[in-house]
Amino acid sequence: MLEIALCDDDDDELNILNSMILKYGKEKNINVITFTYTNGEDLLLSTKNFHVIFLDIRMNGLNGIDVGKKVRENDKYVKIIYVTNFTNYQTDAFTVRAFGYVTKPFAYETICKQMDDVIDYTDKENKKISFTFHTDRGIKTLNLEDIYYFESYNHRIKIVSKNEVLRITDSINNILNNLKSFGFSMPHKSFVINLLYVASIKGYDITLTNGSIIPISQKRSVDFKAEVHSFLKSNFNLLIRR
């Protein structure tokens, strides 16, 4: 079952989107339940944990970016799909970690593509990938999604994860070679980071969602930023996201 919130202050557009999503669920034989809101304030009052939120950016009262930021304070995992012109809001929406974008007038094929991406990504989320490391605390198996970054120093590697900090003996290049295909990148010769946790990039600093600040080398800056956007496209379907 998918519980989906739709938020748009245009009743006609809201009804069209709602009809398309319900049609998609019927065609795919998926139990889809929709909840409609005509303003961001009412959406934020809801106590439900939605799987997906279709959120218009231009609304009276709180706009979609502000609503998205407030949603993210309580829910790090809901997939937010913005209804807008992607190019105008890419920088602001990056901090919200949007899952996708659709434009008006709605095209049913585009809505179906977004919903297909939701289903595909949800399936991937349920398949956790883990690696086993020989650490200073013994043999540890970590889910890759729990690792923020690796840091090389004093000929050792520090692993910073959600639950603990571990140290291993390895090279940072070997770490990159093993994990690059899983969404890890090297912004600096001493770091390999999980692109999933990039919160913002400003100048030559990357801020991760745990508050860590990772440097970008001037030499790597252009390529790294291209990798971030490529990752967002292939993993969160930012094309129209990610």
pLDDT of residue 236: 47
| 10-residue averages of pLDDT along the chain (242 residues) | 94 96 95 96 93 93 92 87 68 68 91 91 69 93 94 95 95 95 93 92 93 95 88 51 32
Sequence-separated (6 or more) residues with CB below 8 Å from residue 86:
93, 101, 103, 238, 240, 241
Tokens of 33: 């339940």
For residue 167, count other CB atoms closer than 10 A to its CB.
16
For residue 239, count other CB atoms closer than 10 A to its CB.
14
pTM score:
0.57
pLDDT of residue 240: 29
Coil, strand or helix: which one is 112? helix
